[in-house]
Structure 1
Amino acid sequence: MLAFTALALSAVAAPSVAANWWNPKPRTVIGGAYVNVHQKGALGNGVHDDTAAIQAAVDSLPTSGGTVFIPAGHYMVNATKPIKLRSHTRLKLDPAATLEVIPTSAGRYMVIQIYNATDVRVVGGNLVGDRAKHKGTTGEWGYGINVTASKNVVLKNINLSNFWGDGIWVGAKDVGREHVRSDYVTINGIVSSNNRRQGMSIGPAQHVYIVNSTFQNTNGTLPEAGVDIEPMSEGLTNTIRLENNKFIGNNGNGIEMHAHISDIAIVGNTMQGNRGFGVLGVSAPGVVVTGNTMTENGLAGVRPSGKSHDWSITGNTLKYNSTRYMSATKNGGALSRDLQFGANTYNIKVSNNIFSNAKYNTYTR
């Protein structure tokens, strides 16, 4: 426990391990082999269970990896037996390819699992959950893609919708005697919609870059956020950047954060029409919120609460929030309409923001 506490404190104080770590294109080393899932018996006719055929395609690759291609079609999959990707593998879906969960009563499942792997890409297509046809009522962990204890992972241009739990999960697990966090995970061009628990959750991980993506209409079971960064007591989450994304119409908060995090950058995003806050931190340290536009959220645009500390809130447009209480088109109101602080927060720096009430535009803290 003492070691964990020391590590946590050092993580809060330390800057990113490398300046602009997110800028270089992710370099995943993918093998040269290639296989089409139809070669292994997948039909993609919307009826046949294609799980085993897709897995057989993955397993047929040599240890050096390669590309598994899923052509256009509607592939039914048994998500209680996830498609397990290995290192140096690309799963490439035609834009008109859909993997849909065969309805289950299981409270936990995943369509694609990336576990203890290095250099993995999943690109294109559509993943669809079973929430409308789910046979059970318990559990909340039905995932589209689960990335655990893996490094150099890219998820790109994928639509994920209607999952019993989260569209995407990124986190850690004990591998042997080592607690392994996911590292260098890039989420680019994802649309995560109408999932039941979260658009995306981040557990213990580092160097997670979420860019050009949309997280919308999460609803069904708490917390119902667009993205939730919540490692709890399982480890640390640090060096996370969310940039140029949209968080729209979620039943909870646009972005929600909790303890055991640091070095979180929320830059140039749009948070609109979420029923909760645009950005909420609960005892969440080490957060930069800059250049975002937050409008028409049910509660304030930004709220650091609990023992949140070491935040910078600069250059944002925070207007027409608190729509549970005020008109979304009416100027004015107190600062708290758009920006709120919990009583125990400290070292929160605020400057150069635009608010519903223009008299607060010069507010600094």
Structure 2
Amino acid sequence: MSRRTLLGAAAATAVSATVLPALGGPALANPPAPRFDQPLGNLTGAGTIRNLPDSFYDRPGLAGMPRIDYAALPVVNVRDHGAAGDGVTSDVAAFNRSLAALRAAGGGIMYLPSGRYLFPPPPLPGNDWWFQGDIRNIHFVGEGESSVLLFQRPVMRENGREAPPYPSGQGWQFQTAVNVSLRDLAIQWAPLNMLRHNATATALIVRTPQAVQILRVTVDHCQPGIILQNARDCWMVGNTLRNGGSDAYNYGGAANSVAAYNWAESIGDDGIANWHDSNRYPDSTVTSGVRFEHNTVINACYGRGMTLGGAGHTIAHNWIETTMGCAIFGDISTSANPATLIDARVEDNHLVRSALEMRPDNRALRPGGGFQGAVSFINKVDTLTITGNSIRGSQSNDITIGVQNWLPVTGRQITISDNELLAANGAGLRVSPGTVVDGLVVEDNRVLGNTGAAVSVAGTATGVTSAGNLVTRLPELDGGTVDGDLTGFRTTGLVGYRDPYADRRAEPSETAWAEPTERPLNGLRVANVRRFGARGDGRHDDTPAFRAALASLPASGGVIKVPAGRYRLVPDERHSAFRDTRIPHHFAIAERDNVHLVGVGEHSEIVLSSPDHQGVRIVGGTGCSVSRLRFTLPARPALRHNRALLELSGVKDGSVTDVRLRGASGANLLIDTCTGVLVRGVRTEDANLYGIDVGASRQVRVTGCTAVGNRDGGIHVSYVGTVFRDCQYVRVDGNTVDGVTEGAGILVASGTAVEVTGNTVRDTCQAGIYLYGRSPIFPTHSVAVTGNTVVRACTGALCVTPGAIAIHSVRHQAGTAEGFFTVAGNTVTDVPFSGVWVGGQSPIGRILSQINTLTVTGNTFTGVSGSPLLIYPDQRAQIVNLTTD
């Protein structure tokens, strides 16, 4: 078929320009909201364990799930065998005794009452925190998030010298498991370490599981999470995992297994994976019948949302939001003789903001690299159906068959039907060079607002049929060939989707510092929340009054006035969602310009009621601000829930000034994918992650702020936001960080032209100032650390950083060194390790930093137990230009 015939036949009469009806995406069933930090009441007065309710099983996708009769099983309480559960005393021996008692009884339930059960590092050369070679007919049941398995990493042991090797870790490892379950308990590694390529810290790994169920387990930090390798007849249902350094849930080489209703958020690789090892299983039908359904993946910060392999694998009814690589990937291994992906279905999924690695500001992307699509396949494919999906805002193509410059597809019978493919920076469907497909069906899709063609053919497609497609741009040949009918396309002016982050995504890279400022409020209309029914008594739900006050302001903006009082905000399902995110909120100022939330000082307090909703969220818009207010979450959960008290997301020219925040389940203040934000005079206390988190933002100044007693850091800068992008021109100056319980003082995990200057940092568990590479994508490129005072850094019981100012695991493309770092004029006092450390080896890994230019000059060190500057020879070899005093 010639190019002229292809394009001429496709050019039907265009539909008049208008806007499509709202596109809601697939309906997703949600499990009931869990309770936090309180026992669930699983143990009855008779000493038995309650069964899971029928409502747990009676949900779509769980038909055929075996029901475990917990109530009929004998129970062994770990406390009765000496478990302390105090987070300080090792409980390994108590768990061994409990397990022995159950084995003697032929199986049953190991019950974990509320507590923190400590598993300390094993003696070298061991690397299993708790290992069982064979475990059968044992069920581990706790009381939800109040029953925590705590795995403690090794800590720094040596003072200024190269330490002995530290082990990578498997938390619980079972070599073989049959008829085993984990239910209603939590797993946590400490301290937090979000580096992707460093020492492992697996929550649970089972090498050959059969009939294993993982049910309602919460994982708060791991690397990776729950791994059921070569699983047979296994179920992972209703679990929650946050803050993982690599994969969240992994079913590599599984058969007849299901992952459903799981949540994965802020992870360093794949959300839910079924990698197929062709060397082990050359016949794909051996690994068949795997389903991923009704799951949620948010912020896959280095990898993919979900991967599929084998035969008869279905990925359906999932929500995948903000992924570095593709949202869904056909992961047949890249061995010399790969197996074939057989009869796969990708159906009724909602995929938002995928393939962000393809952004032009990603310095680590090689030319022609990346997965090149929201949904991507490689190698051999036999019968693939992609239907009913809503794919929105892909940074590259929506669907790509074969990855250009990597691995094409040889396939047959591929059907693309009934999908919404909206606002991609590329084609709706891309048939890549070298790909050969026999039997391609493209029917009833809406491909709207893409920058590329509805279908772009650079390979070979035969047996093509098409019909009923509504598109912005017609198909085109890009050096490829088509045999069949590719005429079933109508062009239209319909607008299918408006990306709320389109302006931030399209901004060019910044080239010079631009000082962010506050906007004057003179002359703006004022809406006092009291006049709209707010009581400010700390008990009444004042959220409707805040919404009414906002609605009363004109399109030109205005002030929402919050007088003295305690204003309780309660999430309402009708008003707590913003489009294309599964992260809900209490109150939002969404896509409004020049709106200002203003109090009278710390006596104007906003009291939040849910740790699983953002507090006040400002999304999009220009010139918005928050000032003279206090935000609190009275009951912070023990585990991180990653929700901020105050969030600015996608904002241009905003400010947060004279605000006090306390007790978030995540970061207290989140500046997310913004440009031009002033943060001044903010006091942040007792956050469960960072006091102030600046993610994927540019032209941001954090100045004159105070961070006290936050968990994982006072101030944090990274590429991670609603859109992943290079942080540029971020200035952190004149702040005070006073105490960090588990993390570092000021952390920089990404950025170009980042300045950390004139700050005072004291009493931190880890380094006072910590520059690190969370992943090689959007790497830490240029940072100046100047004129800071660091006192008593690296003094926590969980310290893993051997320097008050640390540069760790900063990497770019493999084999290159591009970063530019300056550490000058700082004062370091009373540190048990070195003054400045660049590495390198530590208890959390051995990855060396790759640096073009490092300057360490003019610093003053007093009471430093290690060397002023610690750089081991192997690390020095990775620094092209090193200047020291």
TM-score, with structure 1 as normaliser: 0.72
In the aligned structure 2, how far is the partner of 1:110 from the partner of 1:245? 25
Partner of 1:171: 649
In the aligned structure 2, how far is the partner of 1:67 from the partner of 1:53? 14
Partner of 2:625: 154
Shift of 1:315: 0.9
Aligned counterparts, 1:6-25, within 5 A: 6-7=360-361, 14-16=511-513, 18=514, 21-22=515-516, 25=518
Shift of 1:348: 4.3
1:277 aligns with 2:744: yes
In the aligned structure 2, how far is the partner of 1:76 from the partner of 1:309? 42
Aligned in 2, Cα 1:183/1:282: closer, same or farther, shift over 3 Å? same
Give the conservation status (yes or no) of the 8 Å contact 2:756–2:786.
yes
Point out where structure 1 has 5 or more consecutive residues left out of the alignment.
85-106, 135-139, 173-181, 232-236
Partner of 2:670: 201
3-state secondary structure, aligned to 1:296: strand
Partner of 2:228: none
1:240 aligns with 2:700: yes
Q: One-letter code of the match for 1:298?
A: C
In the aligned structure 2, how far is the partner of 1:50 from the partner of 1:200? 21
Partner of 1:311: 783
In the aligned structure 1, how far is the partner of 2:362 from the partner of 2:511? 10
Output one character per residue of 1:96-131: Cα deviation in whole Å (capped at 9) or x when no partner: xxxxxxxxxxx9543331221111111121111225
Shift of 1:35: 4.7
Partner of 1:127: 606
Q: Which of 199-208 and 54-63 deviates more? A: 54-63
In the aligned structure 1, how far is the partner of 2:656 from the partner of 2:839? 30
Give the conservation status (yes or no) of the 8 Å contact 1:196–1:218.
yes
Give the conservation status (yes or no) of the 8 Å contact 1:316–1:354.
no
In the aligned structure 1, how far is the partner of 2:546 from the partner of 2:356? 46
Percent identical: 23
Give the conservation status (yes or no) of the 8 Å contact 2:657–2:681.
yes
Aligned counterparts, 1:211-290, within 5 A: 211-219=680-688, 224-231=689-696, 237-259=697-719, 260-274=726-740, 275-290=742-757
Output one character per residue of 1:267-312: Cα deviation in whole Å (capped at 9) or x when no partner: 1111121121112222443311111111111011112122422111
In the aligned structure 1, how far is the partner of 2:667 from the partner of 2:530? 33
Point out where structure 2 has 5 or more consecutive residues left out of the alignment.
1-354, 364-506, 720-725, 774-778, 805-827, 841-847, 870-882
Aligned in 2, Cα 1:270/1:49: closer, same or farther, shift over 3 Å? closer
Partner of 1:335: 834
Q: One-letter code of the match for 2:733?
A: V
Q: Which of 266-275 and 35-44 deviates more? A: 35-44
Q: One-letter code of the match for 1:14?
A: T
Shift of 1:75: 4.0
Q: One-letter code of the match for 2:551?
A: D
Partner of 1:90: none
Aligned in 2, Cα 1:7/1:126: closer, same or farther, shift over 3 Å? same
Partner of 1:96: none
Q: Which of 161-170 and 38-47 deviates more? A: 38-47
Aligned counterparts, 1:88-103, within 5 A: none
Q: One-letter code of the match for 1:129?
A: L
3-state secondary structure, aligned to 1:189: strand
In the aligned structure 1, how far is the partner of 2:675 from the partner of 2:662? 24
Aligned counterparts, 1:73-84, within 5 A: 73-80=565-572
Give the conservation status (yes or no) of the 8 Å contact 2:753–2:783.
yes
Q: One-letter code of the match for 1:122?
A: L
Give the conservation status (yes or no) of the 8 Å contact 1:255–1:280.
yes
Give the conservation status (yes or no) of the 8 Å contact 1:303–1:339.
no
In the aligned structure 2, how far is the partner of 1:225 from the partner of 1:349? 28
Shift of 1:198: 0.6
Aligned in 2, Cα 1:42/1:243: closer, same or farther, shift over 3 Å? closer
Aligned in 2, Cα 1:288/1:115: closer, same or farther, shift over 3 Å? same
Partner of 1:300: 767
3-state secondary structure, aligned to 2:624: strand
Shift of 1:242: 0.8
Output one character per residue of 1:35-88: Cα deviation in whole Å (capped at 9) or x when no partner: 54444444445444443344334333444554444444444433335599xxxx
In the aligned structure 1, how far is the partner of 2:830 from the partner of 2:737? 18
TM-score, with structure 2 as normaliser: 0.32
Count residues in correspondence.
309
In the aligned structure 1, how far is the partner of 2:555 from the partner of 2:781? 46
3-state secondary structure, aligned to 1:322: coil
3-state secondary structure, aligned to 1:287: strand
Give the conservation status (yes or no) of the 8 Å contact 1:281–1:303.
yes
Give the conservation status (yes or no) of the 8 Å contact 2:586–2:616.
yes
Shift of 1:157: 1.4
Give the conservation status (yes or no) of the 8 Å contact 2:559–2:596.
no
3-state secondary structure, aligned to 2:360: helix
Give the conservation status (yes or no) of the 8 Å contact 1:273–1:296.
yes
Q: Tell which structure's C-alpha radius of gyration is larger.
A: 2
> What is the CA RMSD across the aligned residues, in angstroms?
3.5
In the aligned structure 2, how far is the partner of 1:360 from the partner of 1:44? 53
Shift of 1:8: 5.2
Aligned counterparts, 1:353-364, within 5 A: 353-357=859-863, 360=868, 364=884
Aligned in 2, Cα 1:127/1:6: closer, same or farther, shift over 3 Å? same
Shift of 1:244: 1.2
Aligned in 2, Cα 1:144/1:355: closer, same or farther, shift over 3 Å? farther
1:31 aligns with 2:506: no
Partner of 1:176: none
Partner of 1:324: 796
Give the conservation status (yes or no) of the 8 Å contact 2:559–2:595.
no
Q: Which of 283-292 and 208-217 deviates more? A: 283-292
Shift of 1:332: 5.4
Shift of 1:13: 7.0
Aligned in 2, Cα 1:39/1:8: closer, same or farther, shift over 3 Å? same
Give the conservation status (yes or no) of the 8 Å contact 2:708–2:738.
yes
In the aligned structure 1, how far is the partner of 2:830 from the partner of 2:529? 56
Alignment match of 2:547 (pick from 55, 62, 72):
55
In the aligned structure 2, how far is the partner of 1:345 from the partner of 1:28? 47
Give the conservation status (yes or no) of the 8 Å contact 1:198–1:226.
yes
3-state secondary structure, aligned to 1:56: helix
Q: One-letter code of the match for 1:253?
A: G
